[in-house]
């Protein structure tokens, strides 16, 4: 009987640079990003760049993705990169869970988390740029 081995997709330096760059472009455009991170999805065996903003609630997801498209265009990145990005509200469960233990402030950082259980949620792997939720503990 053959055994299948799943090779985990790596988060490349190019992806890390892209995440920081798009976060910065959104900042420059005045689109408030309160959380920005790559999160590994073990079911899909791929990384997703998660961007959380209160504008997702107030303006709706369509306008939120429109802001991301403008940032991609400003970076001269292919629009196919949009498939790697997910915009969410600040009270998304993953964002709230991470922010309950980590706050980075508004700077863009690079913090790697791997295989951690935080408040009952298992985080396979994440690379954090920003977690700046003032009311995260609430």
Each residue of 75-118: pLDDT tens digit? 999 888 889 999 999 999 989 888 888 888 999 989 888 766 66
What's the rounded mean pLDDT across residues 57-81? 93
Pairing of strands 121-131, 35-41: antiparallel
Assess whether pLDDT exceeds 70 at residue 3.
no
Assess whether pLDDT exceeds 70 at residue 134.
no
Assess whether pLDDT exceeds 60 at residue 135.
no
């Amino acid at each position: 009987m053959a055994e299948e081995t799943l090779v985990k997709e790596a988060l490349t330096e190019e992806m890390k640079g892209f995440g920081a760059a798009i976060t910065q472009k959104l900042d420059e455009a005045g689109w408030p990003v309160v959380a920005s991170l790559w999160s590994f999805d073990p079911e899909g065996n791929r990384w997703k760049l998660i961007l959380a903003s209160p504008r997702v609630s107030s303006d709706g997801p369509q306008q939120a993705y429109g802001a991301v498209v403008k940032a991609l265009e400003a970076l001269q990145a292919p629009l196919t990169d949009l498939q790697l990005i997910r915009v969410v509200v600040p009270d998304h469960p993953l964002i709230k869970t991470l922010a309950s233990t980590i706050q980075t402030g508004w700077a863009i950082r690079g913090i790697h988390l791997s295989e951690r259980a935080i408040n009952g949620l298992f985080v396979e792997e994440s690379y954090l740029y920003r977690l700046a939720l003032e009311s995260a503990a609430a």
